[in-house]
Structure 1
């Protein structure tokens, strides 16, 4: 790419390229050169916008965690409508159909990234922790509405995320929606 050409939203361009590489090739596919090549920008662009590659990766992970806000809002708005099992299954499929599983591998793979994330993120993996909070808030709302009884949201939410992660991780083909609904029913002990 020629120098001196103005790039629109270069950060998002780089983040989208990183997401594609991460999903397709795993954490080892992510290098600054691979990201800039996939984004179609000059090699130095990434380092003009970020202190180093781990700073880029930390902001990438946090950006993808921030994208959970729209999912969380939609799930809360679904409280009181439809089936609780179906609402949760759709949310879990959306979370794990995204880059979430790959981000877990990335954070596990890179020690410096994990240390950097700990500076701003106290515990867990950002995308999965946000998903557990989202599901916990939804279950609490459903409990208030009287549609879920005998379920402790703070306990059920991490169980749903952990089990969902196991369903989706290291598979060439994602689980069927029915398999996800069975898992949700089992965790919630629902019919």
Structure 2
């Protein structure tokens, strides 16, 4: 098989190992050996499918950013249904926390990967950017529907939402604790801008 072309099952096995390594010891301890050891495969397997560690991590960042983007993409369509806080929280929780945690920490430690993700997926697609974009569009739609006050600023609220998520992810405790803190914080964040009587 040509170098740089990976079997999908092997790719996902190795990507899951990145999640595990970053959650356990942080992105600073990432190495080809650490990843293949966590994946339970031979060290050379990673380099049989990727040019080098940077190439592998770029592929990982693109894959995980796509997962986050795909989960966030449906948020604007939920405008007018459920609750505003509930819809935002559901979107944040749609991607497994270990994946969000690992991706966010990796992009913070290796910011050059952001440009490589954007080159493949487009602007506002790297890491949590997709959630921010989707939340901004969603809140704008809810404002037009009257479920969010006209004085609300969707972009600012979306930025605050992602700031909260970023902070909690980088200081993560247990998954249930993070989910609880996200829900309480998001509920408080939008409480002042949601309306009891939407436009008819």
TM, length-normalised to structure 2: 0.77
Query: Residues 70 and 121 from structure 1, CA distance in 2 versus in 1: closer, same or farther, beyond 3 angstroms?
Result: closer
Task: For residue 9 of structure 1, give the secondary structure of its aligned residue in structure 2.
Answer: helix
- Structure 1 position 119, deviation (Å): 4.5
Kept in 2: contact 1:36–1:43 (CA 8 A):
yes
Deviation string, structure 1 residues 142-163 (Cα, Å, up to 9, x no partner): 2232211222222211111102
Contact 2:69 2:125 in 1 (8 A): no
Tell me the distance in 2 between the aligned counterparts of 1:120 and 1:58: 7
Deviates more, 1:17-26 or 1:117-126: 117-126
1:115 to 100, 112, 116: 112
- Tell me the distance in 1 between the aligned counterparts of 2:188 and 2:161: 10
List gaps (5 residues or longer) in structure 2.
1-6, 195-200
The structure-2 alpha-carbon separation of the partners of 1:171 and 1:67, relative to structure 1 and needing over 3 Å to count, comes to closer
RMSD between aligned residues: 2.7
2: CA distance, partners of 1:115 / 1:168: 20
Structure 1 residue 169 displacement after superposition: 2.8
Q: Unaligned 5+ residue runs, structure 1?
A: 1-6
TM-score (norm 1): 0.80
Which residues of 2 match residues 148-163 of structure 1 at below 5 A? 148-149=148-149, 150-163=151-164
- For 1:180, the equivalent position in structure 2 comes to 182
Distance 1:55 1:21 in 2: 17
Partners of 1:120 and 1:74 lie apart in 2 by 20
Which residue in 1 is equivalent to 2:3? none
Query: Does residue 54 of structure 1 match 2:93?
Result: no
* 8 Å contact kept, 1:92–1:161: no
Aligned length: 182
Match of 1:127, SS state, is: coil
Q: Counterpart in 2 of 1:22?
A: 22
